[in-house]
Amino acid sequence: MDVIPAIDLLGGRCVRLYQGDYDQSQVFSEDPVAIAQQWVEQGATRLHLVDLDGAKAGQPANWEAIKKIVQAVDIPVEVGGGLRTYQRVAELFSLGVRYGILGTAAIENPELVGQLSAAFPGQVIVGIDARNGKVATRGWLETSEVEAVELAQRMAALGAAEIIYTDIQRDGTLKGPNRAALRQMAEAIAIPVIASGGIGSLSDVLSLLSLAPVGVTGMIVGRALYTGDVSLKEAIRAVGQGRWQDVPPDLGQSSLA
């Protein structure tokens, strides 16, 4: 299972939001390239970048920072935020980005997911961000009536390579991932699910191993890495050595929430 560090970009800086609220942002670094290199040095095999300005504006806004990060590291980089046209995604891939994450477009222009998946097989990820099980769009500023699991099934049928599932109410809170929702989604589709939102401790990291058998293949960790609540190096080592059968009872099925 992959442990994927998150780098959220706002105004060219590395920040974290609380429950997706742009008014509750905390700056962790003025140099996102240095942060990316730091995570690679600690063992990251993949990076998760979110262009928060782009998500809000509807088109990529931190292009230069993304380009510099891709040039500075030698591991796959995935990027989301404001990717709502074929041209923008193609341009992103031309920079060397490995995976493009579509969120709002999956709701408003699902045909685009199919077109891009056919043109760039294995490179299109759909980010499903949910509030109370309903999909949020446009940088989490709007909430639709579409059920997260229903959207995941549609996107899998259109050729999406993976689903990144984020529980907005857990994101940035360090209160633990929503394992019940992750299990429900993973069991409903045949493509991998990446967990995102709420991871605040090594116990939270290990708790997700119980979902590996149903198709949760990775986790995105953000705020906990920046606050020091989780050591990336330690998390990668623990996941590599652990098995879901070894997770203590209080971290396994009985505590799904």
pLDDT tens-digit series, residues 84-139: 999 999 999 999 999 999 998 898 999 999 999 999 999 999 999 888 878 887 65
The whole-number pLDDT of residue 246 equals 58
**Which residue range(s) make up the domain with 189?**
2-255
pLDDT value, residue 46: 98
Confidence (pLDDT) at 26: 77
Confidence of residue 250 (pLDDT cuts 50, 70, 90): very low
pLDDT, position 142: 62
Higher pLDDT, 143 or 127: 127
By mean pLDDT, which of 12-26, 60-74, 169-183 is the weakest?
12-26
pLDDT tens readout for residues 205-249: 999 999 999 999 999 999 999 999 999 999 999 999 875 555 555
Of the candidates 216, 86, 92, 88, the residue with the CA atom closest to the CA atom of residue 163: 216
Model confidence at 256, pLDDT cuts 50, 70, 90, reads very low
Q: Which CATH number covers residue 131?
A: 3.20.20.70
Indicate whether this model's pTM tops 0.75: yes
pLDDT of res. 169: 74
Q: Are strands 134-137 and 216-221 parallel, antiparallel or unpaired?
A: unpaired
pLDDT at 253 over 60: no
The number of distinct structural domains making up the chain is 1
* pLDDT for the residue numbered 22: 67
pLDDT digits (tens, 9 = 90+) for 29-83: 889 999 999 999 999 999 999 999 988 888 888 999 999 999 999 999 999 999 9
Six-digit token string for 198: 């709420």
Once rounded to an integer, what is the mean pLDDT over residues 17-36?
A: 77
Q: Which DSSP symbol is given to 257?
A: -
Which residue do the tokens 């906990």 mark? 224
- On whether the CB atoms of residues 32 and 14 are closer than 8 A, the answer is yes
Strands (E), the chain: 2-10, 13-18, 21-29, 47-51, 77-80, 99-102, 124-131, 134-137, 142-147, 162-167, 193-196, 216-221
Q: What's the mean pLDDT in 156-182? A: 88
Note whether 189 and 156 are within 8 A (CB).
yes
Q: Has residue 257 got a pLDDT over 60?
A: no
15-19, 57-61, 93-97, 252-256: which range is least confident on average? 252-256
- DSSP conformation class of 5: E
Tracing tokens 């923008």 back to the chain, one arrives at 88
Rounded distance, CA 172 to CA 106, Å? 24
User: Is 157 in contact with 199 (CB distance < 8 Å)?
Assistant: no
Cβ atoms of residues 229 and 174 within 8 Å: yes
Quick one: pLDDT at residue 18?
Answer: 64
- Residues recognised as catalytic: 8, 129
